[in-house]
Each structure stands twice: as structure tokens, then as C-alpha cells.
């Protein structure tokens, strides 16, 4: 759970669902548990206590940009550190959309990406697939549905994904 800092005031007038106003500089925590489709594409699920409910939505742009940029930089650094020739080249596909609204970034059923699977899916962690430019990242894994050597299936709060090994990374690099 990341600690987040508000970069502006957020009032109940602006966000009617809040129980109180939040002040610039106030600390909240990113909430990564199940949000039951309550959080809009322009919002971030937050809580006052790390990992605990109740959760509430704050506008993503009200959270310090430096905090989000630091997280992206840390994710990129971790991906580079963890990449080895033993990591498989995979295809990951969204097989079920578990939200009542369309995904804000167009990641709907049938969406596919190929790349290096940074780490096998683990409950509580996002799945990262490294690509030539950037990476694909899921929301945190809620449940592992199938775990085999050459692929598997897992569920996040928003979606169900399957992944399959296309080839080992050494072969993929030799062909590039």
C-alpha cells in the first residue's frame, strides 16, 4: 500500500460521496482490495489505514504527481533488475471483464499483449509483462485460478486473465 499525499484540497462539494473534506498535504493510502466497480477511471481507491476498509475514491489528479512518478520509476527499476534469460516470453489475454463499465483504457475482453513475464502471478501483487517499449501491468491479483509451468489463469478485482508461454526468453532474444 503506497502512501499518497494530496496536492490540493478535495471537498465534499466536489466529491459528494466523501464523509469529509481532505486538505492539501494530507496523507492517505492507496487501497488495492476489491472495490466492486465503485472507482471511476479518473479516480483512485484510497483508505485512511493501509490495506483496510472503508475505502473511498479521490480524483487521481489530486494525488501528488511525484508519488505516482516515483512508483513508476520503482516499477521500471524492479523490472530491469528481475529480468533474466530464465523468464518466459508470454502472451497475456484478458478473458473476462469483471466491471459493469468498460475499462477506461480500452483493455476489454480479448485484449492481448506479448512480452517477458517479470514474475509469475502472485496474490496481492500486480502482474508485469515487459515489452520493447514500456510494460503492461494488471491490478493486484486476487486469486490464482490455474497455475501450470507453461501458463495459467488469474483474477484481479477488475478482470480475469490467462497467460501462456510462447517461448523461453533466450529463444525470443536470439530471434530479435
Exposed e or buried b per residue across 9-36, where buried means at least 16 C-beta atoms within 10 angstroms of its C-beta: ebeeeebeeeeeebeeeeebbbbbbbbe
Taking the C-alpha atoms of residue 116 and residue 170, their distance in angstroms, rounded to an integer, is 11
The residue among 135 and 121 whose pLDDT is bigger is 121
Query: What pLDDT, in 10s, does the model give residues 129-162?
Result: 887 667 888 888 999 999 998 999 999 988 999 9
Rounded mean pLDDT of 71-95?
70
28-68: pLDDT as tens digits: 998 888 887 888 778 889 999 988 889 999 998 888 755 55
CB atoms under 10 Å from CB of 141, counted, come to 19
Question: For all residues of the chain together, what is the average pLDDT?
Answer: 82
> pLDDT higher for 128 or 68?
128
Q: Tell whether pTM > 0.95.
A: no
pLDDT band at residue 23 under the 50/70/90 scheme: very high
Q: What is the pLDDT of residues 76-86, one digit of tens each?
A: 666 565 554 56
pLDDT value at 176 more than 50: no
Grid cell locating 120: 509469475
161 close to 138: Cβ distance less than 8 angstroms: yes
**Other C-beta atoms within 10 Å of 69: how many?**
10
Which tens digits make up the pLDDT trace of 1-17? 688 889 899 999 999 99
DSSP state of 138: P
CB atoms within 10 A of CB 118: 21
Q: Report pLDDT for 48.
A: 94
Q: What is the pLDDT of residue 84?
A: 47
**Extents of the domains making up the chain:** 3-63, 81-175
**Residue-by-residue DSSP string for 67-116:** HHHHHHHHHHHHHHHH--TTSEEEEEEEEEE-SSS--TTS--TT-EEEEE
Does residue 115 carry a pLDDT above 50? yes
Q: Residue 104: how many CB atoms within 10 A of its CB?
A: 11
Amino acid at each position: 500500500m503506497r502512501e499518497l499525499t494530496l496536492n490540493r484540497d478535495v471537498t465534499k462539494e466536489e466529491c459528494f460521496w466523501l464523509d469529509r473534506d481532505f486538505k492539501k498535504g494530507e496523507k492517505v493510502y492507496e487501497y488495492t482490495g476489491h472495490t466492486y466497480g465503485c472507482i471511476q477511471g479518473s479516480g483512485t481507491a484510497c483508505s485512511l489505514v493501509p490495506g483496510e476498509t472503508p475505502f473511498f475514491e479521490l480524483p487521481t489528479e489530486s494525488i501528488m504527481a511525484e508519488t505516482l512518478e516515483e512508483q513508476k520509476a520503482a516499477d521500471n527499476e524492479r523490472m530491469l533488475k528481475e529480468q533474466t534469460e530464465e523468464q518466459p516470453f508470454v502472451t497475456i489475454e484478458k478473458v473476462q471483464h469483471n466491471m459493469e463499465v468498460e475499462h477506461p483504457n480500452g483493455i476489454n475482453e480479448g485484449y492481448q499483449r506479448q512480452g517477458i513475464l517479470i514474475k509469475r502471478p502472485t496474490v496481492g501483487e500486480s502482474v508485469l509483462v515487459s515489452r520493447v517499449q514500456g510494460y503492461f501491468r494488471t491490478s493486484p491479483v486476487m486469486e490464482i485460478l490455474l497455475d501450470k509451468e507453461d501458463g495459467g489463469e488469474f483474477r484481479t478485482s477488475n478482470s480475469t486473465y490467462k497467460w501462456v508461454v510462447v517461448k523461453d526468453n533466450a529463444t525470443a532474444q536470439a530471434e530479435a
